[in-house]
């Protein structure tokens, strides 16, 4: 057997032995794994949530429509002409005319002021144009709005996308918070696993001592513990994935109802394949790191020298 | 095989366990270190296995100056030495076979070769039939023999034993010593610490008497294994 083969063989043995040892104390170790799973699921879940929110706000990106209310004096024909005219301008995607009659009907139906409006006798609403900018024309929108506002026929240009910007910056901020939470919980996972491995080292002090006395190197003694940590992290990541998909499953139906109310095709999106792999990789790495910290600190204590 | 040159060991507590001990044990020798408890027997063995380092003097083992062996190299150094402990230091959570196999697993031998050597070692101490038992099911004497099998399984040239018969009655003690003699006959160098003077009177071996940290007597009653 070559040296390399021996080495691989030894690692494989440690790898399986570590799993075996975890299985020997299923209840206690399962609890540890669930704690790790929750600690990993929280930041990942928050990230998934923020991703979903950004996805919604993304879909609003093209929806920076604005409404132009025309003067009361403009009749339907002129309004129609004006709509056609604006449609020709650069940066304008689509123009929809909402006549005052349509607006009133909508208002009566949805506002709950139907009867109150009846007492007015006369329709107080003007014709309105809903203007959707052409794709990628974002920079021209405010320019366009200004021009339209200056026209004689227009009374008011309602141009309100500020709240989307506000939402985006809140999401941006939330993402920062998620980053911090991720680091904190990652650290927490390292501590939890480090502590678990520390207890295991204490339990196996005799074994470590004997192994060292018969000539086991520190690397040899450490390896099973590192693999234990690795398994804890890996199993914790799997639990985290289960937790996240479980929560998404619970939320998907209410989210669909909300989306339907807004006539949106929005669906909750879980972590994709790459993100799932990243979570597993991260969990495994943190497990290894926790074990590494514990072994560096505590195997020295066990040194017979 | 083992040479001590004016070796002193003072522990951090201030206790001086060895002060100026000098002796030489040839390859193939079997020798006893005697002395009262606290005379420094264990310390002397610990210096050989590099469990402790001397505060003064030189310890040579197998022509290597132990002071030149770095911490990282200690495991590889220890693999040349078989160690037998008074309290056996067997692991109760694994079988007799696995206990004896421990020094071989470190070397990553093929499992077939490991089995072969472990069985050979257990056969030599007469415990082959207990290979699947837990050490806890064995008597103290049998446990000690498992410890001895573990010490010789990697075929070291040197075996050191710290009070290997400390917990045994005279009959079992003699049995263990006879076992050591057999190893010596096939060329293993042995250094055994014991306070049981009566026992070693029955054996024709070199004796190093330790008294308050010094070798005060080095008698050679016979020349066991010198021809090896």
Residue B98 pLDDT grade (very low, low, confident, very high; cuts 50, 70, 90)? very high
Phi, psi of B164 (to 5 degrees): -65, -20
Q: What is the DSSP letter of A125?
A: P
Prediction ipTM score: 0.86
> Which tokens is B76 given?
């590889």
Shortest CB distance from B102 goes to which of A1, A9, A211?
A211
- The residues, ordered by sequence, that sit 6+ positions from B171 with a Cβ below 8 Å of its Cβ are none
Residue B61's DSSP bridge partners are B2, B64
Q: What pLDDT was estimated at residue B227? A: 37
Return the percentage of chain A with pLDDT > 70, whole number. Answer: 90
Tell me the torsion sign for CA atoms A167, A170, A171, A172.
positive
Per-domain residue ranges of chain B: 1-80+158-164+188-228
Between B140-152 and B96-106, two packed helices, what is the crossing angle to 10 degrees?
20
- Please tell me which residue, B108 or B128, carries the higher pLDDT value: B128
Residue that is written with structure tokens 């998907």 in the block:
A252
A4 pLDDT above the threshold of 70:
yes
Q: How far is CA A93 from CA A56, A133, B77, in A?
A: 21, 5, 82
Please tell me which of the candidates A1, A215, A218 has its beta carbon nearest to residue B110.
A1
Q: What is the pLDDT of residue B228?
A: 37
Least confident of A78-87, A160-169, A269-278, B150-159: A160-169
Instruction: Tell me the residue length of chain B.
Output: 228
Terminal Cα distance for chain A, rounded: 33
In contact, B22 and B218? CB cutoff 8 Å: no
pLDDT of residue A219: 86
Q: What is the rounded CA–CA span in Å between residue A36 and residue A153?
A: 65
By Cβ distance, the residue of B71, B89, B103 closest to A215 is B103
Per-residue pLDDT band for A138 (boundaries 50, 70, 90) equals low
Q: Which of B103, B108, B110 is closest, CB to CB, to A214?
A: B103
Lowest-pLDDT range of A35-39, A132-136, B92-96, B160-164: A132-136
Do residue B106 and residue A220 have CB atoms under 8 angstroms apart?
yes
Tokens of A220: 């040899």
For residue A41, is pLDDT > 90?
Answer: yes
The pTM assigned to this predicted structure is: 0.72
Q: What is the pLDDT of residue A161?
A: 67
Contact criterion met (CB < 8 Å) for A305 and B110: no
Interface with chain A: mutation pick from B12, B53, B74, highest number of A CBs within 10 Å: B74
Which residue in chain A has the smallest CA separation from B79?
A215
Percentage of chain B lying above the pLDDT 90 cut: 48
* pLDDT-wise least confident of A154-158, A270-274, B75-79, B149-153: A154-158
A152, two tokens? 């004689």
Decide: B148 and B176 in contact? Cβ < 8 Å: yes
Pair of tokens at residue A153: 């026929």
Q: Measure in Å the smallest separation between the Cα of B194 and chain A Cα atoms.
A: 20
Residues of B in contact with A209 (CB under 8 A): 89
Those residues whose C-beta lies under 8 Å from the C-beta of residue A115, and which sit 6 or more positions away, are none
- CA nearest to A220 within chain B: B106
With residue A96 as reference, give the H or E element that holds it. strand A92-98
B117-132 pLDDT tens trace: 999 999 989 999 999 9
Query: A38-53 b/e with 16+ CB inside 10 Å = b?
Result: bbbbbbbbbbbbbbbb
pLDDT-derived band at B224, boundaries 50, 70, 90: very low
User: In this structure, what token pair is assigned to residue B127?
Assistant: 């415990």
Judge whether residue B108 has pLDDT over 80: no
Name the residue ranges covered by the structural domains of chain A: 3-60+164-299, 65-160
Backbone angles phi, psi at A12, to 5 degrees: -60, -40
Structure tokens at A35: 């704690």
Sheet containing strand A92-98, edge to edge, reads A92-98, A128-133, A66-70, A154-158
The yes-or-no verdict on residue B221 having pLDDT over 90 is no
Going through chain B in order, the beta strands assigned E by DSSP cover 2-10, 16-25, 30-34, 56-61, 64-65, 81-84, 158-162, 189-193, 206-211, 214-220
Q: What local confidence, expressed as pLDDT, does residue A139 receive?
A: 55
pLDDT given for residue B88 in this prediction: 87
Q: A220–B102: do the CB atoms touch at under 8 Å?
A: no
Distance separating alpha carbons of residues A224 and A287, to the nearest angstrom:
13
State mean pLDDT over A13-31.
84
User: What dotted CATH number matches A65-160?
Assistant: 3.30.70.3040
Q: What is the mean pLDDT of chain A?
A: 83
Give the tokens for residue A77: 């024909």
What is the rounded distance in angstroms from the CA atom of residue B138 to the CA atom of residue B134?
A: 7
B-chain CB neighbours of A299 within 8 Å are none
- Strand order across the B56-61 sheet: B16-25, B2-10, B56-61, B64-65
Provide the β-strand partners of residue B209: B34, B217
B77 pLDDT more than 50:
yes
Residue A203 forms contact with B (CB below 8 Å): no
Give the per-residue pLDDT at B222. Answer: 46
| Arch. (CATH architecture) of B1-80+158-164+188-228 | 3-Layer(aba) Sandwich (3.40)
Residues 197-226 of B with CB under 8 A from A: none
């Amino acid at each position: 057997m070559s040296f390399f083969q021996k080495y691989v063989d030894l690692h494989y043995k440690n790898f399986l032995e570590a799993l075996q040892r975890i299985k020997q104390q299923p209840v206690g170790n399962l609890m540890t794994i669930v704690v790790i799973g929750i600690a990993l699921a929280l930041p990942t879940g928050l990230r998934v949530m923020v991703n979903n929110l950004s996805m919604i706000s993304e879909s609003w990106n093209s929806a920076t429509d604005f409404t132009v209310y025309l003067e009361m004096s403009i009749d339907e024909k002129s309004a129609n002409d004006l709509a056609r005219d604006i449609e020709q301008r650069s940066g304008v995607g689509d123009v929809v005319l909402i006549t005052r009659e349509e607006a009133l009907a909508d208002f009566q139906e949805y506002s709950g002021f139907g009867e109150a409006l009846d007492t007015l006798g006369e329709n107080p609403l003007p014709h309105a144009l809903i203007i959707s900018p052409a794709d990628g024309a974002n920079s021209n929108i405010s320019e366009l709005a200004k021009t339209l506002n200056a026209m004689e026929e227009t009374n008011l240009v309602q141009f309100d996308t500020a709240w989307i910007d506000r939402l985006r910056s809140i999401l941006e901020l939330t993402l920062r918070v998620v980053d911090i939470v991720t680091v904190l919980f990652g650290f927490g996972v390292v501590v939890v696993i480090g502590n678990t491995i520390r207890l295991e080292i204490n339990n196996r002090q005799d074994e470590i001592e004997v192994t060292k006395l018969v000539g086991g190197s520190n690397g040899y003694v450490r390896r099973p513990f590192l693999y234990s940590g690795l398994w804890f992290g890996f199993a914790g990541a799997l639990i985290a994935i289960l937790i996240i998909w479980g929560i998404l499953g619970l939320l998907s139906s209410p989210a669909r109802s909300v989306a339907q109310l807004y006539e949106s095709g929005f669906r909750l999106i879980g972590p994709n394949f790459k993100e799932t792999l990243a979570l597993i990789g991260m969990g495994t790495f943190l497990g290894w790191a926790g074990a590494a910290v514990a072994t560096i600190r505590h195997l020295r204590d066990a040194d017979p020298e | 095989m083992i040479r001590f040159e004016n070796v002193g060991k003072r522990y951090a507590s201030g206790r001086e366990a060895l002060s100026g001990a000098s002796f030489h044990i040839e390859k193939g020798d079997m020798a006893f270190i005697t002395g009262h408890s606290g005379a420094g027997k264990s310390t002397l063995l610990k210096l050989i296995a590099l469990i402790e380092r001397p505060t003064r003097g030189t310890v040579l083992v197998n022509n290597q100056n132990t002071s030149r062996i770095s911490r990282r190299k200690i495991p590889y150094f220890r693999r040349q030495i078989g160690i037998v402990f008074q309290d056996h230091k067997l692991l109760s959570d694994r079988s007799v076979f696995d206990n004896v196999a421990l020094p071989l697993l470190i070397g990553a031998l093929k499992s077939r070769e490991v089995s072969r050597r472990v069985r050979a070692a257990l056969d030599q101490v007469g415990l082959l039939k207990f290979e699947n038992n837990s050490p806890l099911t064995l008597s103290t004497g049998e446990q000690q023999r498992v410890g001895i099998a573990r010490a010789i399984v990697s075929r070291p040239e040197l075996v050191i034993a710290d009070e290997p018969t400390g917990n045994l009655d005279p009959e079992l003690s003699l049995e263990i010593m006879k076992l050591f003699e057999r190893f010596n006959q096939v060329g293993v160098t042995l250094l055994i610490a014991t306070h049981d003077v009566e026992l070693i009177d029955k054996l024709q071996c070199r004796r190093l008497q330790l008294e308050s940290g010094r070798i005060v007597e080095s008698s050679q009653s016979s020349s066991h294994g010198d021809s090896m």
